[in-house]
Structure 1
Amino acid sequence: MLDEAEIKNVLVVTAHPDDIDFGGAGTVAKLVDAGAEVVYCLVTDGDAGGFDRQVDNGGMAVARRAEQTAAADRVGVEDIRFLGYPDGMVEQSLGLRCDITRVIRQVRPDLVITSTPERNYARLGPSHPDHRAVGGATLDAVYPDARNPYAFPELLADEGLDAWTVREVWLMGTPTPNRYVDVTATVDRKIAALRAHESQTGHMQDLDGFVRGWLAANAATAGLPEGAFAEAFQAVVTD
């Protein structure tokens, strides 16, 4: 598995604004602090999310893009790419695989972070169908598409994007984590990023307590000392 010090370029691929902030913003902040370049790729604008039914889908999309931009700023990420797929209707299609492969070949990351394509029966939240579709398409884009020069040949012929091999993928929301990242030093920035998603978290009366309790439980599972916080992933080595 990759040592954190080896990670220089990271691509995060998620379905919606706020997915990375719930699943891995503490880790992103830690990697940025260590000098890694991190790019966000969001498949949808999150236009079907939120609780304010007075805002139409177009207005919600604009609001959530702005929220994600603010949240990314809290953890030091400036490069955010939106693919514009409709929220709630994402499918694990060849078109989505090609779009994600394009971004992988542009960014050329050591590490890709995305959602698990598995259904999590212990905690249903990560199992949103968009999450599973994006996770599956991203894994397909990592292997075999991005590394295969014969996959989507137009990416090379028309855009000059050579094949690229991602070394590792970390899956968020997995029922079977095998990698825990100590985010004790960055948990406050994770919470700040989540607060930036006002349309999604504004109704949560104790967001701070919820996040700290969840991450403290992860830390205990990982054997970290009391008072520590951790984010959990399933690390997939691609070799």
Structure 2
Amino acid sequence: MSITHHSLAFAPREGGRVLCFTAHPDDVDFGAAGTIAAWTAAGVEVVYCVMTDGDAGGFEADADIAARRLEEQRAAASLVGVREVHYLHERDGYLEVTHQVISQVVALIRRYRPDVVLTMHPERNWERLQKSHPDHLAAGEIVTRAVYPAAENPFAYPELEAQGLAAFKVPQLWFMAAPAERENHYEDIGDTVEAKLAAIHIHASQHPDPAAMDAEVRGQLLENGRRTDASGDVLAECFHVVVVNGSGTFAGF
């Protein structure tokens, strides 16, 4: 079965808002930077939150790797129109599903009240295990729990309500790096692929062979396109889109 444009998927518009949560600096650029570049060009405000500092990344000992990676992410974000990046400063490789982290995610969701929350997929991908770093799985589970029920339950993390962060129902939850059988929506990023690749190239600390990385990413995008219902050579980013609160949602069901 081919991947289609999900009929209820978020349509970018001036004044829209998307909140992205990833495990490491560079995750969002590999997973969704082309789509994000198109959204920001259409007037959508996109905000990033990176849960770990990426301090276990790179290919040589570097005492300053965490600071370097955080700056790489800020620079990459600016290339696709994202001006605001938050960090939770968890330790790379040690991210766990805890209420301390979930409550921080809930606070950001309630603060920004986005149309879409975008994150990593919480299910392991056995066909490409590299998509399923344990931190990725943890990030996906953390955000899923934050979106439902915590963000929309005024009695969850009551200290947030006391701070003026009122409960909020997230309309849509988008997952990147999903197992193929979960993907149900694609975005054609032919117009923004160069911005995506430029953003990935900013993460120089992670790519010892930039040319090979570039070719690999282009190849993956083309392969994604072949799995869609589009015609021709489409460069596609694919997602698992979940409508959390839509026209048919009633009293949390």
Question: TM-score normalized by structure 2?
Answer: 0.90
* Corresponding residue number in structure 2 for 1:183: 189
**Segment of structure 1 superposing worse, 144-153 or 217-226:** 217-226
**Segment of structure 1 superposing worse, 133-142 or 221-230:** 221-230
How many residue pairs align between the two structures? 235
- SS of the residue corresponding to residue 233 of structure 2 reads coil
1:217 aligns with 2:223: yes
* Corresponding residue number in structure 1 for 2:250: none
User: Would you say the 8 A contact 1:194–1:201 is kept in 2?
Assistant: no
- SS of the residue corresponding to residue 23 of structure 1 reads helix
* Corresponding residue number in structure 2 for 1:5: 12
User: What residue ranges of structure 1 are gaps of 5+ in the alignment?
Assistant: none
User: What residue ranges of structure 2 are gaps of 5+ in the alignment?
Assistant: 1-7, 246-253
1:68 aligns with 2:73: yes
Which of 136, 140, 144 is matched with 1:135 structurally? 140
* Corresponding residue number in structure 2 for 1:156: 161
- SS of the residue corresponding to residue 46 of structure 1 reads coil
CA positional deviation for 1:221: 1.1
Which of 174, 182, 187 is matched with 1:170 structurally? 174
CA positional deviation for 1:226: 2.1
Which of 109, 112, 121 is matched with 2:114 structurally? 109
CA positional deviation for 1:156: 1.4
- SS of the residue corresponding to residue 206 of structure 1 reads helix
Q: Give 4+ residue runs of structure 1 displaced > 3 Å after superposition.
A: none
CA positional deviation for 1:236: 1.0
User: Would you say the 8 A contact 2:201–2:210 is kept in 1?
Assistant: no
Task: After superposition, give the CA deviation of every residue in 1:17-74 in whole Å (9 maximum; x if it has no partner).
Answer: 0000010000110110111000000101101111122x12xx1110001100110011
CA positional deviation for 1:92: 0.7
CA positional deviation for 1:225: 2.9
Partner amino acid, structure 1, of 2:119 = T
CA distance in 1, matches of 2:85, 2:117: 14
* Corresponding residue number in structure 2 for 1:33: 41
* Corresponding residue number in structure 2 for 1:147: 152
- SS of the residue corresponding to residue 75 of structure 2 reads helix
User: Would you say the 8 A contact 2:9–2:241 is kept in 1?
Assistant: no
Task: After superposition, give the CA deviation of every residue in 1:109-156 in whole Å (9 maximum; x if it has no partner).
Answer: 010110001110001111111110010010000000001100001011
CA positional deviation for 1:190: 0.3
Which of 90, 93, 103 is matched with 1:88 structurally? 93
User: Would you say the 8 A contact 2:29–2:199 is kept in 1?
Assistant: yes
CA distance in 2, matches of 1:152, 1:27: 32
CA shift in 2, pair 1:73/1:5, >3 Å: closer
1:99 aligns with 2:107: no
- SS of the residue corresponding to residue 232 of structure 1 reads strand
CA distance in 1, matches of 2:34, 2:242: 20
1:238 aligns with 2:244: yes
Partner amino acid, structure 1, of 2:223 = A
User: Would you say the 8 A contact 2:69–2:203 is kept in 1?
Assistant: yes
* Corresponding residue number in structure 1 for 2:25: 17
Which of 108, 118, 123 is matched with 1:118 structurally? 123
CA positional deviation for 1:202: 3.6
